Amino acid sequence: MTSSSSAQGRNGVRHVDVDSGSAGQRIDNFLARELKGVPRSRVHRLLRKGEVRVNGGRVRSGARLEAGDRVRIPPVSVDAGRRAEGDQPPKGMQERIGAAVLHEDDRLLVLNKPSGIAVHGGSGVPWGVIETLRAMRPGTAFLELVHRLDRETSGCLLVAKRRSTLRTLHEVIRDGALEKRYLALVKGRLPKHPLPVEARLDRNARRDGERTVQVSSAGQAARSVFRRSEVFHEATLAEVSIATGRTHQIRVHGTYAGHPVAGDGRYGDQEWNKTLRKYGLKRLFLHASGLRWKDPDSGAEHVYHAELPDELRGILVRLEESRP
């Protein structure tokens, strides 16, 4: 289902009226569908600069639309160097994403997203998971990401095949009822008891001119709980549950607690990362291992699990073999 009507004015500006089928959708996701092929980074830049208006006023990226809203969309061209009309994702990417399907029904796709693949295109990345899925399934009318994972993170990723499913799952997420579990190799020895980390995160901080995430009283509330699973000489395999889904949350919280995530080139311990390369670690050791929630209407419980990838399991085997 799409927006109910669209009118084009002078200079290519469009005014789109939001129907009931799009009610509750985030403005950035709405724009991603209306501006196909435009990178997400540019969509957010349009919102920050106030070029997109809802009912005549500026709007933030996370704002949700209501039926009857009128959205002003400026003319936007696809960035040069991005994919051309009719291009297809690389065959290898299609094969990897096709093999990553954990579950599929008429409402939902659950993927075990490989590390190194972005969930959506942008910033010089022409093909992400969602663009590739749409290209692979041209007959599927609706495919939208329910949530996101970092490019370097592998594991469970939800894709809605109906707008009603997307709305329901966004409601579950807003209510804090989507249980997300991760496996992370962290530096040092975690205590036997669970280690909760509650620290507000500001994702608009700057470091050396680059946007980053840092602990700040001005940030958004975030909570992560680290639990010890396996202990090695100088590392712990941790099960991590998060009650919020902030950008880079586990990575920043781990470092804040003195237990940086292995292979993290941005927030981690770089000397330790060099040591781990001797064991074959070539990526971030962070894996979204499981998702669980109850359908708010039917009460049915949904549980999905993604096994730790072989390349990460191999690191644990080599760490175990090297134990003093």
Known catalytic residues are 150
- CA–CA separation, 312 vs 54, rounded Å? 45
Q: What is the DSSP letter of 183?
A: E
Angle of CA points 46, 164, 142, to nearest 5°: 65
156 forms beta bridges with 112
Tokens (6 digits) for 292: 């669980």
Helix (H) / strand (E) containing 91? helix 91-99
Residue closest to 100 by CA, chosen among 89, 117, 92, 112: 112
Residue 270 to residues 125, 190, 311, Cα–Cα distance (Å): 26, 20, 20
Is 262:235 a contact under the CB 8 Å cutoff? yes
Q: At 236, phi and psi to the nearest 5? A: -135, 130
Helix (H) / strand (E) containing 129? helix 129-136
